Chains A and B, each alone.
Chain A
Amino acid sequence: MAIDMNVFRGFAEQIKMLPQMARPTDCPDNERVKHAKAIFSTKIDASNATQLESCVHCGLCAEACQFYIQTEDPELTPIHKLDLLKRYYRREKAPLRWLHRLIEPDITEADLEATQHLVYESCTECGRCGLVCPMGIDIAAMVHVTREGLAHAGLIPAGLRAVEQEQGSRGTVFGVGPDQLRQAADELRAKGHEVPIDKDKADVLVLTSTIDVLLFKDALEATVKVMNHLGLDWTIHSCAFEGANFGLLSGYSEVQKSASERITSQAIALGARMVIVPECGHAYPALRWAGANAHGAPLPFEVMALSEFLGREVMAGRLQLNPIGADKHVTYHDPCKIGRHGGVFDEPRAVLQALGVDMREMPSNRTANFCCGGGAGLFVMEKAEPMRNAAFDLKRQQVEATGAGSVVTACGSCRINLMAGAGRTQWSTPIESLVELVGANLK
């Protein structure tokens, strides 16, 4: 694998510096509550209402959460993260708001601040809690609503805010813009690959991510190889190549919308029938589910996760792979945002089957898999490190239970968090990328 570990370590260093790079939002303390409420007011609907009202404080959600399981800290109980939203809802939206206003105090700036680490640094919105709740409360979705409220109140944690501000103002992430993309394309051309950039019209718009451009270059190379191998009319576009959406991660909806509309309008201009999202977790729901709502209309093109696309091509017989052999024992880590939140489970497994490897499922897999701990922007938040580490330790146990020789996944964040954990604990099991395995074994 050609991962430059200096770049990997550089990432870690840069992440430590991020908080200093964040600009102030100039939100006065006494206006934060007002801004948060304005957002909550527009977001809360019947789904949130019936769910918030159905909670009986049974505590089962904690038993599903990897962060609680590892730390046994009741503060990390998932439903507790919604106390702020619940209190706002009860006082200002609920049918019994007139009663609650008499007996419950209003949310304060201190409450907003106390909620920050609950919904940011200690939650990946993985959704496992919602699976166990007997009332079917979608806690992850409402954690996100809370993030949106806090974001507009100027309370995005500094590291995450820095990246969101960069993407919002300059359209880039970690300084990777059109020049860096073209540079990466030139590197690939030098290796003999055709890289169609900035075509006027194309069937398929392929996205990538900063992480693939800088770090997981093999994944980008493999993607290019597969697209060419399949003979598709595809392009990558320097105006809209970033799959990651830090507006979504931070909850700052204006940036979420601008980042996703940038892709949507480019795909429409290209006349694309399909947009392929790279190996990046949240990038998939950002476009596949939230993109149409940001657009205000159904998207006129199909959105596929790369792993989903590869699987579909394999299942249709259009993509033939050389079998690696059944003496390669792997397990597959479903990225939460592509699996549980995306519905993509069978396709990556079809790819692994076509590769002829011995795939062993982790004890908790597919819909109920454990989060790696790095999602929802946690990997750029330094204060989230204890949580990321705790989740990794649990994930490691899951992998080791399979006896597999490597972990395959299809998300850059997952890869980073798993690699960081492996480095920290001297774990020798390699973390592999699905598209890289495909790229290396095209028939």
Chain B
Amino acid sequence: MSFTAFVDGPFWYFSATVFVIGVLWRLVGMLNMGSKTDFSTPRSSGSAAALSINITRFFPRADFWSRIRLQVVAGYLFHVGLFALLFFAAPHIEFYREYVTGFGWVALPEWAFILVSEIAFLGLMLLILHRMLNPVTRAISDRGDYIGSILIFLVMLTGCLALARSHEVLRVTHFFLAELLLVYFPFSALIHTFTFPFSRGFMGAHYGRRGVKV
């Protein structure tokens, strides 16, 4: 079997399966641990706060802004750029239409695809560099943090190198790394993609019951 056939065939099915099952396994496993009953009389609704914190936490408090500016800005550049290119870049929508959903949706024009990719690259590179240069992140970061972020960078880079759609080997490299990322994803901190609404929600509920907007 050629490498191309492997990447387009068995490895795609394997990686997609591991991704879906892995994420569900991990997420459901966490949520199954349940919550202890809180017998104290709440000041206000915990569930309402669990929902609202998911919105408000996107906007950092002014108190912290001057110390966290770089990471917040770079973080949004990366995440928003990544979201846009993952879901609204024409080649990706083509892929989903053919291999995942059976239908597509409106795509960004090519120039916009390039623009959001550049934004995502800018954010990701600033974040990876900051992780290496800032004393706090340098002290607390582990192997997984670097593997995850650099793997994403390589997926994005190989995607960029294959933009001309001129040579199969470039496309296959991009696909291979993306599939590798899917396999790695459920076993890494990248799971935050799916757990963050819950972790925020629990914090919101805890403080919401105390009548404190966090």
Contacts and interface: CB of A to CB of B under 8 A. Distances in A.
Given A54-B196, A54-B199, A60-B71, A46 B35 contact: yes
B43 interface: yes
Contact of A59 (B31, B136, B200): B136
A79 B204 CA distance: 18
B71 to A, nearest CB: 6
B101 interface: no
B212 interface: yes
Given A44-B33, A46-B202, A131-B214, A292 B39 contact: yes
B192 A54 contact: yes
Interface stretch (B139-147, B155-163, B176-184): B139-147
A136 B203 contact: yes
Contacts of B34: 45-46
Contacts of B212: 339-343, 367
Contacts of A297: 39
Nearest to B57: A136
A99 B25 CA distance: 13
Nearest to A139: B203
Interface string B121-151: 0000000000100111111111001000000
Given A51-B203, A141-B206, A293-B39, 4 more contacts: A59-B140, A130-B203, A136-B196, A136-B203
Contacts of B196: 54, 134-136
A94 interface: yes
B111 interface: no
Given A95-B26, A298-B39, A58 B200 contact: no
Chain B interface residue count: which class? Answer: 35 or more
A63 B210 contact: no
A248 interface: no
A77 interface: yes
A292 B41 contact: yes
A53 B202 CA distance: 13
A326 to B, nearest CB: 27
B26 A53 contact: yes
A77 B203 contact: no
A61 to B, nearest CB: 9
A295 interface: yes
B53 interface: yes
Contact of B199 (A57, A136, A293): A136
A55 B187 contact: no
A69 to B, nearest CB: 8
B35 A45 contact: yes
Interface in A323-352: 339-343
A75 B139 contact: yes
B31 to A, nearest CB: 5
A289 B200 contact: no
Interface residues of A, number: 62
A138 B206 contact: yes
Given A96-B26, A343-B212, A132 B187 contact: no
A99 B37 CA distance: 31
B189 to A, nearest CB: 5
B80 interface: no
A100 B99 CA distance: 33
A39 interface: no
Contacts of A49: 30-31, 33
B112 to A, nearest CB: 27
A117 B26 CA distance: 32
A312 interface: no
Contacts of B202: 46-47, 50-51, 136, 138
Nearest to B137: A59
Contact of B206 (A47, A299, A363): A47
16 contacts: A46-B35, A47-B35, A51-B202, A55-B192, A57-B131, A64-B63, A79-B140, A93-B33, A95-B30, A132-B61, A134-B60, A136-B57, A292-B39, A295-B39, A299-B40, A368-B64
Interface in B1-58: 25-26, 28-41, 43, 53, 57
A105 interface: no
